[in-house]
């Protein structure tokens, strides 16, 4: 039964492909007659298999009748070929022709009657199907588009699958059944059939089937892998089913497991963000044994799936690296993009692998899809591998295909440029062009990511930034602590005067989620809040109290808290603070100077802030900013303090060094 349903799905697939080709060729036609013709052609193709027997019966009867007419005509001609008649009306060929026409008309009338009856039967059968599938729409609505016809087939197929699963297990416990079941599920997933009721019932039924004793004799891993892959395609997660499948797989015979099945299964678990560590570790041992059998697609799937495991566990990637390097040119574009993206997620900076991949990427750059270009760009930026040729190819590709990129993808590219510290205005003009009027497509994290890129590179496109902030202001309530930090700090860096209600909403959400921020994020918010337009002593004091309570201390912490406290001192009278708050400030400053007083505390090259400040420092003070200064970027403190205190601070810094 399921095998028959699967064949119907395949026939429907072929019909849809033909229709899609015709639609592409004739997309410019807009006449109503042509639309009707296309629909009729689709309908004929779609129901060709369903009504094949009936049509064949009609055709055979017509052919027999035509043969009978032809035989009669031949006999009449042979009998009268030697006779001649003066009256042309009595000519045998004329009378024969009239006789033949009469018989053909009778046959056509009979055929029309039969066609009418068949049409009535078709309508009745369609109405029954619609009733069973709880479709209350009028049949005329099916003429609105070709996909309605396909949905009818998909709904009918899913209904038959559920019916088959309701019978006793003894009737379906055979290899052919599970093969057909897996193939049907795969076809439903290919057509993106996302009826949650179907997938939920299917998963519940399969849980019971997997518990049957000796079920492994008929239900092999290949068919289970195909079913799991179908769940991954439609993004439907039933944790109980995933757990039962993992247990079933681990209890299965290892000899029958194929490397491709393993890659399909782990890829499904990865897509659904359901990681069963025991299952993945179980597969890892088998992968080591069958590493030479792995196809290139399997390697790509495995790399992509295992990247969501513990980032410190990179043993598998180390083993796969050699095989990937030797066969880098044998992977297709999508597979290579997945591999590079997986390595970057785990922060596996194999520069040899990334450099070898560049040659392949440059050679086939135009063959990559936009999403694959985004994955590759993001991978290289995460590993901090900045290649000018890659940036040049990226700009050329975006210029040709800017309309193919989605706003979330453009936000990732902007973030990659920020990581590279590449202020390429041409690329950001394309990003701006691709996002304007499509702001609604930006996800919550994309907004923060985009603002971070513009803020870090100081690209102050005020109209564009304000437009995004106003249209996406509702996302502030849904941002996590990390993205809230990016959002807040970036706006202040760009020095954009945002509407007061948006700023108040930002502060409110920071207060609500204050305890979820990391120490460095809190210091960054505090440091940014020192700007006069955004100064709020209530927010700053709450952050400083929390940092002191956590006993926050690190090099990065010391950097920003040091400057923040000096700014606080310069604009506020400490005598107005409570004794508790003054003790808090003293503790924080003490911990900051613990790092500052150490030798080689901030071994960095001359920073941008030093370069900007240097021309304003009086030459009489004889201050020389070296490439490595003990207090690093805190030269800004010299400007915040009074002039009389400068020399004392300089001498103190020299003694520290």
DSSP codes joined into one string, 286-319: HHHHTGGG--HHHHHHHHHHHTTS-TT--HHHHH
| Total domains present in the chain | 3
Q: How confident is the model at residue 146 (pLDDT cuts 50, 70, 90)?
A: low
Q: How confident is the model at residue 170 (pLDDT cuts 50, 70, 90)?
A: confident
**Domain end among 261, 293, 325:** 293
More confident residue, 541 or 45: 541
Q: How far apart are CA 305 and CA 313, in angstroms?
A: 13
Q: How far apart are CA 336 and CA 356, in angstroms?
A: 12
The percentage of the chain sitting over the pLDDT mark of 70, rounded to a whole number, equals: 67
Indicate whether 633 pLDDT > 60.
Answer: no
Give the mean pLDDT of 590-616.
Answer: 58
Same-domain check for residues 109 and 201: no
Same-domain check for residues 128 and 172: no
Question: Do residues 12 and 50 touch, judged by C-beta distance below 8 A?
Answer: no
* 265 class by beta-carbon count within 10 Å (0-12 exposed, 13-18 middle, 19+ buried): buried
Question: Do residues 471 and 500 touch, judged by C-beta distance below 8 A?
Answer: no
For 410-463, how does the pLDDT look when each residue is reduced to its tens digit (9 = 90+)?
Answer: 999 999 999 999 998 999 999 999 999 888 899 988 999 999 999 999 898 989
User: And the tokens for 263?
Assistant: 């890659």
Same-domain check for residues 120 and 182: no
Radius of gyration of the chain (CA): 37
Q: How far apart are CA 427 and CA 612, in angstroms?
A: 27
Indicate whether 572 pLDDT > 80.
Answer: no
Is 516 among the domain residues? no
More confident residue, 129 or 318: 318
Model pTM?
Answer: 0.69
Is 487 among the domain residues? no
Same-domain check for residues 172 and 225: yes
Indicate whether 44 pLDDT > 80.
Answer: no
Segments forming the whole domain that contains residue 197: 168-293
Enter the DSSP assignment of 617: S
Q: In terms of Cα–Cα distance, which of 607, 608, 597, 610 is closest to 636?
A: 610
Same-domain check for residues 175 and 93: no
Question: Do residues 309 and 277 touch, judged by C-beta distance below 8 A?
Answer: yes
Same-domain check for residues 183 and 278: yes
Cα 462 off chain centre by:
30
Same-domain check for residues 9 and 113: yes
Q: What is the pLDDT of residue 15?
A: 59
Is 342 among the domain residues? no
Q: How far apart are CA 185 and CA 37, in angstroms?
A: 32
Angle 516-277-290 from CA coordinates, rounded to 5°: 140
What is the number of other CB atoms lying within 10 angstroms of the CB of residue 637? 19
Same-domain check for residues 127 and 232: no
**Length of the chain counted residue by residue:** 657
43's enclosing H/E stretch is helix 32-46
Helix (H) and strand (E) counts in the chain = 31, 0
Same-domain check for residues 101 and 213: no
With residues binned 3-state (H G I as helix, E B as strand, rest as coil), the percentages for the chain, rounded to 5, are 75, 0, 25
52: phi > 0 → left, psi -120 to 50 → alpha, else beta; which? alpha
Q: In terms of Cα–Cα distance, which of 183, 172, 162 is closest to 3?
A: 183
Is 12 among the domain residues? yes
**Domain end among 293, 308, 325:** 293
Residue 503, CB half-sphere, CA atoms under 13 Å: how many? 17
Is 365 among the domain residues? no
Same-domain check for residues 109 and 221: no
Residues in contact with 17: Cβ distance below 8 Å, sequence separation at least 6, in sequence order: none
178: phi > 0 → left, psi -120 to 50 → alpha, else beta; which? alpha
What is the number of other CB atoms lying within 10 angstroms of the CB of residue 164? 18
For 171-200, how does the pLDDT look when each residue is reduced to its tens digit (9 = 90+)?
Answer: 788 888 899 999 999 999 998 898 999 999
For 50-103, how does the pLDDT look when each residue is reduced to its tens digit (9 = 90+)?
Answer: 444 444 444 444 434 444 444 444 444 334 444 443 444 444 433 434 454 454
Mean pLDDT of the chain: 75
**Domain end among 109, 133, 157:** 133
Is 570 among the domain residues? no
More confident residue, 483 or 167: 483
Same-domain check for residues 87 and 179: no
Same-domain check for residues 60 and 126: yes
Beta-sheet strands, E only, within 406-527:
none
What is the number of other CB atoms lying within 10 angstroms of the CB of residue 38? 16
Rounded alpha-carbon distances, angstroms, from residue 154 to 21, 195, 230, 559, 620: 21, 10, 14, 62, 84
Is 488 among the domain residues? no
Q: How far apart are CA 131 and CA 147, in angstroms?
A: 19
Is 591 among the domain residues? no
């Amino acid at each position: 039964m399921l095998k028959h349903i699967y064949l119907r799905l395949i026939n429907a697939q072929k019909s849809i492909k033909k229709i899609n080709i015709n639609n592409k060729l004739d997309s410019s036609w807009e006449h109503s007659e042509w639309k009707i013709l296309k629909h009729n052609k689709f309908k004929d193709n779609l129901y060709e298999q369903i009504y094949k027997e009936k049509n064949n019966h009609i055709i055979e009867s017509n052919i027999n009748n035509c043969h009978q007419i032809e035989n009669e005509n031949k006999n009449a001609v042979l009998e009268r070929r030697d006779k001649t008649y003066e009256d042309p009306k009595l000519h045998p060929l004329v009378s024969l022709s009239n006789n033949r026409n009469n018989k053909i008309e009778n046959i056509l009338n009979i055929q029309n009657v039969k066609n009418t009856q068949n049409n009535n039967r078709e309508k009745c059968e369609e109405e029954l199907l619609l009733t069973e599938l709880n479709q209350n729409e009028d049949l005329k609505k099916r003429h609105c588009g070709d996909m309605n016809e396909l949905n009818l087939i998909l709904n009918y197929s899913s209904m038959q699958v559920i019916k088959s699963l309701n019978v006793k297990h003894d009737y379906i416990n055979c290899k052919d059944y599970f093969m057909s079941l897996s193939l049907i599920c795969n076809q439903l997933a290919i057509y993106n059939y996302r009826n949650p009721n179907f997938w939920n019932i299917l998963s519940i039924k399969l849980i019971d089937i997997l518990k049957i004793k000796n079920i492994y004799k008929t239900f092999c891993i290949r068919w289970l892998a195909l079913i799991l892959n179908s769940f991954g395609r439609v993004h439907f997660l039933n944790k109980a089913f995933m757990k039962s499948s993992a247990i079933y797989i681990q209890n299965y015979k290892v000899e029958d497991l194929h490397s491709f099945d393993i890659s399909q299964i782990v890829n499904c678990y990865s897509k659904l963000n359901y990681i069963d560590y025991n299952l993945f570790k179980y597969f890892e041992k088998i992968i080591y044994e069958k590493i030479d059998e792995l196809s290139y697609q399997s390697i790509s799937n495995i790399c992509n799936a295992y990247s969501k495991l513990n980032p410190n566990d990179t043993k598998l990637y180390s083993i796969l690296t050699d095989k990937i390097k030797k066969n880098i040119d044998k992977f297709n574009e999508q597979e290579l993009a997945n591999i590079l993206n997986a390595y970057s997620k785990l922060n596996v900076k194999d520069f040899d692998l990334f450099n070898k991949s560049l040659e392949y990427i440059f050679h086939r750059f135009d063959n990559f899809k936009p999403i694959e270009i985004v994955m590759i760009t993001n991978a290289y930026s995460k590993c901090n591998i900045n290649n000018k040729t890659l940036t040049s190819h990226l700009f050329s590709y975006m210029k040709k295909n800017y309309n193919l990129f989605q706003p979330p993808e453009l936000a990732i590219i902007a973030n990659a440029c920020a990581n590279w510290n590449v202020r390429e205005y041409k690329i950001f003009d394309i990003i701006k062009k691709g996002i304007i009027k499509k702001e609604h497509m930006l996800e919550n994290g994309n907004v923060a990511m985009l603002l971070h890129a513009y803020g870090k590179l100081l690209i102050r496109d005020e109209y564009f930034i304000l437009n995004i902030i106003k249209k996406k202001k509702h996302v502030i309530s849904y941002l996590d602590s990390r993205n809230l930090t990016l959002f807040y700090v970036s706006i202040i860096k760009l020095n954009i005067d945002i509407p007061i209600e948006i700023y108040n909403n930002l502060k409110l959400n920071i207060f609500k989620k204050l305890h979820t921020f990391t120490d460095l994020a809190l210091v960054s918010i505090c440091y940014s809040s020192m700007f006069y337009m955004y100064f709020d002593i209530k927010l700053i004091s709450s952050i400083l109290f929390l940092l002191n309570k956590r006993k926050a201390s690190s090099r990065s912490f010391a950097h920003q808290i040091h400057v923040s406290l000096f700014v606080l001192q310069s604009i506020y009278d400490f005598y107005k603070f409570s004794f508790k708050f003054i003790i808090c400030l003293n503790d924080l400053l003490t911990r900051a100077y613990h790092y500052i007083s150490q030798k080689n505390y901030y071994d960095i090259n001359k920073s941008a802030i030093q370069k900007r400040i240097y021309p304003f420092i009086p030459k009489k003070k004889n201050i020389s900013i070296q490439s490595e200064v003990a207090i690093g970027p805190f030269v800004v403190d010299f400007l915040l303090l009074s002039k009389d205190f400068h020399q004392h601070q300089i001498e103190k810094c020299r003694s520290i060094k």
